[in-house]
A and B are shown apart, each in its own frame.
Chain A
């Protein structure tokens, strides 16, 4: 579906990283990168609770492959920031065992592509042990790291695992977008008694967002399972998460210039999914599209479509729902094709236009 579009300008990614984004409480606030927000979250939670510790490849002395754990080893030492050998299945298992025994591990995957080596521990042990132990053994663990497409790293390093992990009961799956999301949700994830898969985005690490004093304080925690309306609008609901939120917001800006008001819902949490927020928005806009970077089949958009079909809000729709997703192929290497294989603002614009086409035509004739 990423292909159904009018052409986008190249260099979108570089623009993302140069520009600061506006969020709701943007006015009296300080710009903070997503990377620093994540770092703050871990730091504050480590300070707050001695049981919290970090492990993964290169997370200690090297500050993490993407520098998310910068300074933590210096501050907390070997006991709480642990460099591991290159054995994802090993250190994921260590983290799960430590959680069984009462610690709160924050387990970093250098990228989520490598979590595939460890997925048995996540699905078969972390997700199910609380259930199988009849509620006796909670697994308070966070698996985190960059997920999805980065840039120029092709098929094996550019994939979104949101749909994969959200399939499994017992896991919570979070996908932050802004710095505020990153900080508030990661803190919530670390405090949460259940295992949480926390899907970050390499491209977003360096992006600055304004953070309010409230969000900067060490008490700031966001609820898991609650979506955020990033932009209100009355014509169409656009549901997205993570970096796709940026794509949707850019499209919404452009559409606003044409008189179309999109309501952009940043899911924040994929599981639990805040369907109430989606449904009540549809009840106002009567139109829906979803935007995600992952593949279409059995994806997040597919899940949302199914939930809509199964709920009374289906009758509120004036047109079928459209999904804007990554192209249904392994990620190509060529930069220009890579850009085409991911949803771009123009793909969203044209999907919105198609879904709204009757009404747009109607309004034009008035």
Chain B
């Protein structure tokens, strides 16, 4: 699948064709192979040639995109159909629907001023459930922010997520982070951080820590966008993953845009995947609108990662929604461009058609579940809105492990102030002691 065939007609390494054995197969005199001298530089073991060749992005065929389903939900080659039990398949599909409904309602709630910010996941649902289903719940997740389906699949509830967006006292993040910056220690999900790509070297570091444990059975998956891949941290992560040989899957969601910047302006060359072989990583490019293909890719990647062979996956998709509630994407892309990705290349449609064909889902159950999913979000939201905010003292907690005297003093000042002017503040909105 990963063969990067040299283009026909390219003369570089032409001598390859003259030989039946591979260039680096066993041989007695390493520096001479079939009359070709192999250089012994510490930085590269490569053949000497006498013809000057310049390589460019056209020298190689593009890395192909692995898929299992066609757009009608048919399995293209039966041997590639993953062996997933019925309950898991239904759970995958329901998670997609749940996510879709949650996105619709929370996006609206931001428009109505109920929360300050939101980001939708439209078009990338297949990436979330396909990858999450292929992992062990013990594997550690570093997310960027547009991977909410992974969290739902892991078992975070709609209520937990909605509570985070509302920053109420039941938010396990104590109402401190802006909306969609979820995290759950219990579910092995590292709290999302705003500055792009910082999660990438951190994920490799975490994987390194796992590797040091005897009989390690956990890997780390790190999601990032094709835009974030331009950060210096991204290169550092790829290079360290390879050189430290860490049990990590670096998972790029290439959805074509970074806010308004199209991928054509973000990078040149063959996408993010082409950086993998260049840096010595196992590399897979997969159709991110095909949940089953993503599932197979991540399953294989996980096997490799656990042998300390780090993997780069590039999942191709399309960001169907606006970047966030602060963005209006009609300013930089035509509405027609989006259509294809909400119809024939919709990850949700593809998996639904597959399930229907298998006879484990139908239009009626689809309608009923969509309603149920919607209701659970509406219910969670109504409850979240009524819940109090965390106690104001939480503002001073966890800055340090032990609260230093200077913070104790600030807290005491605030306490006295609030005691004195109690009636001037919306104290009933905050948790009592």
A153 x B410 contact (CB < 8 A): no
B177 x A155 contact (CB < 8 A): yes
Q: Which chain B positions have C-beta within 8 A of A90?
A: 230, 232
Residue of A nearest to B424 (CB): A7
Complex CA distance for A328 and B196, rounded to whole angstroms? 25
Partner of B261, one of A58, A151, A154, A328: A58
Q: Does B231 contact A (CB under 8 A)?
A: yes
Q: How far is the CB of A350 from chain B (nearest CB, A)?
A: 10
Q: Does B209 contact A (CB under 8 A)?
A: no
B261 x A86 contact (CB < 8 A): yes
Q: How far is the CB of A349 from chain B (nearest CB, A)?
A: 14
Q: Does A6 contact B (CB under 8 A)?
A: yes
A333 x B178 contact (CB < 8 A): yes
Q: Does A116 contact B (CB under 8 A)?
A: yes
B417 x A58 contact (CB < 8 A): no
B117 x A85 contact (CB < 8 A): no
The 8 A CB mask of B91-129 against A (1 = contact, 0 = none) is: 000000000000000000000000011000000000000
A341 x B395 contact (CB < 8 A): yes
The 8 A CB mask of A328-366 against B (1 = contact, 0 = none) is: 111011111100110000000000000000000000000
Q: Does A114 contact B (CB under 8 A)?
A: yes
A5 x B417 contact (CB < 8 A): yes
Complex CA distance for A83 and B259, rounded to whole angstroms? 12
Q: How far is the CB of B330 from chain A (nearest CB, A)?
A: 12
Complex CA distance for A330 and B178, rounded to whole angstroms? 12
Partner of B260, one of A7, A58, A87, A341: A58
The 8 A CB mask of A138-176 against B (1 = contact, 0 = none) is: 000000000000011111110000000000000000000
| Given known A89-B231, A90-B230, A156-B194, contact A151–B407 (CB-CB < 8 A) | no
Partner of B425, one of A61, A87, A113, A336: A336
Q: How far is the CB of A256 from chain B (nearest CB, A)?
A: 23
Q: Which chain B positions have C-beta within 8 A of A116?
A: 195
A152 x B260 contact (CB < 8 A): no
The 8 A CB mask of B400-433 against A (1 = contact, 0 = none) is: 0000001100100110010001001110010000
| Given known A336-B429, A340-B414, contact A156–B421 (CB-CB < 8 A) | no
B396 x A86 contact (CB < 8 A): no
| Given known A86-B196, A327-B395, contact A336–B426 (CB-CB < 8 A) | yes
| Given known A7-B421, A7-B425, A153-B178, contact A83–B265 (CB-CB < 8 A) | yes
B176 x A328 contact (CB < 8 A): no
Q: How far is the CB of B220 from chain A (nearest CB, A)?
A: 22
Complex CA distance for A328 and B405, rounded to whole angstroms? 12
Residue of B nearest to A341 (CB): B395
Q: Does B247 contact A (CB under 8 A)?
A: no
Q: Does A315 contact B (CB under 8 A)?
A: no
Complex CA distance for A34 and B332, rounded to whole angstroms? 25
B261 x A113 contact (CB < 8 A): no
Complex CA distance for A3 and B408, rounded to whole angstroms? 13
Which residues 288-342 in A have Cβ within 8 Å of B in the complex?
A: 327-330, 332-337, 340-341
Q: Which chain A positions have C-beta within 8 A of B331?
A: 62
Q: How far is the CB of A155 from chain B (nearest CB, A)?
A: 6
B261 x A85 contact (CB < 8 A): yes
Q: Does A4 contact B (CB under 8 A)?
A: yes
B421 x A327 contact (CB < 8 A): no
Q: Does B201 contact A (CB under 8 A)?
A: no
Interface size range on B against A? 35 or more
B413 x A85 contact (CB < 8 A): no
Residue of B nearest to A62 (CB): B260
Complex CA distance for A264 and B424, rounded to whole angstroms? 28
Q: Does B167 contact A (CB under 8 A)?
A: yes
Q: Which chain A positions have C-beta within 8 A of B332?
A: 61-62
Q: How far is the CB of A182 from chain B (nearest CB, A)?
A: 22
Partner of B195, one of A83, A156, A340: A156
Complex CA distance for A3 and B406, rounded to whole angstroms? 13
Q: Does A117 contact B (CB under 8 A)?
A: yes
Q: Does B384 contact A (CB under 8 A)?
A: no
Complex CA distance for A65 and B332, rounded to whole angstroms? 13
Q: Does A45 contact B (CB under 8 A)?
A: no
Q: Does B256 contact A (CB under 8 A)?
A: no
Partner of A57, one of B193, B261, B389, B394: B261
Q: Which chain B positions have C-beta within 8 A of A155?
A: 176-177
Q: Does B175 contact A (CB under 8 A)?
A: yes
Q: Which chain A positions have C-beta within 8 A of B407?
A: 328-329
Which residues 276-295 in B have Cβ within 8 Å of A in the complex?
A: none
Q: Which chain B positions have C-beta within 8 A of A333?
A: 167, 175-178
Partner of A329, one of B260, B395, B417: B395
Q: How far is the CB of B411 from chain A (nearest CB, A)?
A: 9
Complex CA distance for A151 and B429, rounded to whole angstroms? 19
Q: Which chain B positions have C-beta within 8 A of A113?
A: 194-195
The 8 A CB mask of B200-239 against A (1 = contact, 0 = none) is: 0000000000000000000000000001101111000000
Q: How far is the CB of A298 from chain B (nearest CB, A)?
A: 13
A329 x B399 contact (CB < 8 A): yes
A152 x B117 contact (CB < 8 A): yes
Between A86, A113, A340, the greatest number of chain B beta carbons within 10 A of the residue's beta carbon is seen for A86
Q: How far is the CB of A193 from chain B (nearest CB, A)?
A: 29
Q: Does B258 contact A (CB under 8 A)?
A: yes
Between B259, B395, B421, the greatest number of chain A beta carbons within 10 A of the residue's beta carbon is seen for B395
Q: Does B266 contact A (CB under 8 A)?
A: yes
Q: Which chain A positions have C-beta within 8 A of B425?
A: 7, 336
Q: Does B341 contact A (CB under 8 A)?
A: no
Q: Which chain B positions have C-beta within 8 A of A157?
A: 178, 194
| Given known A61-B332, A89-B232, A116-B195, contact A329–B175 (CB-CB < 8 A) | no
| Given known A62-B332, A153-B116, A329-B399, contact A3–B417 (CB-CB < 8 A) | yes
| Given known A85-B266, A87-B231, contact A154–B258 (CB-CB < 8 A) | no
Q: Does B369 contact A (CB under 8 A)?
A: no
| Given known A62-B259, A85-B267, A334-B167, contact A153–B117 (CB-CB < 8 A) | yes
Residue of A nearest to B230 (CB): A85
Q: Which chain A positions have C-beta within 8 A of B266?
A: 85-86
Q: Which chain B positions have C-beta within 8 A of A341?
A: 395
Q: How far is the CB of B217 from chain A (nearest CB, A)?
A: 33
Chain A residues proximal to chain B, CB less than 8 Å: 3-7, 57-58, 61-62, 65, 83, 85-90, 113-114, 116-117, 151-157, 327-330, 332-337, 340-341
Known: A85-B230, A156-B193. 16 other contacts (CB 8 A): A3-B413, A6-B421, A58-B260, A65-B259, A113-B195, A152-B178, A153-B116, A153-B178, A155-B177, A328-B399, A328-B410, A329-B410, A330-B399, A333-B176, A335-B116, A337-B395
A sample of 16 inter-chain contacts (CB < 8 A) reads A3-B410, A3-B413, A6-B421, A7-B425, A62-B332, A83-B261, A117-B232, A117-B233, A329-B395, A329-B399, A329-B407, A332-B176, A332-B394, A333-B175, A337-B392, A337-B395
